[in-house]
Amino acid sequence: MTKTVSTIVIYCNPIDQIKTVLACCASITGNTVFVVDNSPTNKFQELCLSFGAQYIHTPSNPGFGASHNLAKEKFPDYDTYLIVNPDVHFSSDDAIKLIDFINKNHDVVCVVPKVIYPDGQLQRLCKLLPSPLNLFVRRFAKKLADKLDNNFELRWFSYNVAVAIPYASGCFMAVRAEIFRKIGGFDERFFMYLEDTDLSRRLSQHGKIIFYPDAIITHEFAKASYKNKRLLLVHIKSAVQYFNKWGWFFDRERNQINSEAVAKIRAVMAEAKTANPKCTESSSR
C-alpha cells in the first residue's frame, strides 16, 4: 500500500477555510495530514490536532516552498506528496484519482486536477513556461497581455483530455515523493509566487507532468498580489529570481519545451475529437 501525505501551509487564514481543507484531507483513506503554520501565533494548533493532523508552528514564516519542503524531512519514506493550498476543497474520490494515477504511471512525476471557481467556472491553470513578457506585460498592460495570454494560458485547450503540460499550478499537486526529494523539493529562494513554475520545470526533467481532467477541485484563488502592494513586490521579486535562474529573453530550452508541449496537446485534442466528434470544451463539472 502506498503512503501519502497531504501538506497544507497556512498563514492567518480564515478558520472556516482551514476547517474545510482539513476535513477534505482527513477524508482520504490512509492519508497523513501535515500542517505547517506560519502564523505569528499557534492559535490553529488545537483545530488541526482535532482533525488528526500533525502540526508544526513556524512563526518565522520561511515561505510557501520552504514550508512544504518540511514534508521531506518529516515523511522521508512516503510515496506521494499532496501539495494542498488552504483555499481549496475537494472530495476524497477526486484526490484518490490523482494518487492512483501517479502510482500506476511510473513515467509521471506530477499530476494535477481540473480546477474550478466556487461558482463552477473553469480556472485556466494549465500554462506554458512564462517569458518575461508573459508575467510583466500581463500585470501592467492588459490589452497586450490578452494577445500574449492566448497561447501562454492555452486558451484554446479544451480541458477535457489528459495531457502533459510544462507548468502546473501549486494550488493542488500530487507529486512523486522520490523525485521531489531527489531534486530537493521547492527552491527556497522563492518566498512566494513562481515557486510552482520553478518546481514544474525541474520535475519535468525527470518525467511527465499530467493534467488529469477526471479529478476536479474547487479553488477560491484570491489573486492577492493584484490587491496588495506588498505582495505585488514579492511577486515581482520572485519573477526576477526566476528569470535570473532560467534565463530572460533568450531561453532556448523554454522555447523548445513550449513548442513541443503545444504540438503534443493539439495532437491529443485532435485525436480525442476524431474519437468523439461531440467532444467540446467543458468549463465545469
Task: Name the residue ranges covered by the structural domains of the chain.
Answer: 4-275
Cell of 19: 476547517
Q: pLDDT (tens digit, 9 = 90+) per residue, 76-105?
A: 999 999 999 999 999 999 999 999 999 999
Contacts of 215 (CB under 8 A, 6+ apart): 90, 94, 95, 97, 98, 101, 113, 114
In 3-state terms the chain splits into helix, strand, coil percentages (rounded to 5) of: 45, 20, 40
164 strand-pairing partners: 210
Q: pLDDT (tens digit, 9 = 90+) per residue, 105-132?
A: 999 999 999 999 999 999 999 999 998 8
Contacts of 259 (CB under 8 A, 6+ apart): none
Q: With CA atoms as reference, report the closest residue to 209 among 107, 123, 116.
A: 107
In this structure, whether the domain defined by 4-275 belongs to CATH 2.40.30.200 is answered with no
pTM of the predicted structure, to 2 decimals: 0.90
Looking at residue 65, the DSSP 8-state letter turns out to be H
Phi, psi of 41 (to 5 degrees): -120, 165
Q: pLDDT (tens digit, 9 = 90+) per residue, 202-235?
A: 999 999 999 999 999 999 976 554 456 788 888 8
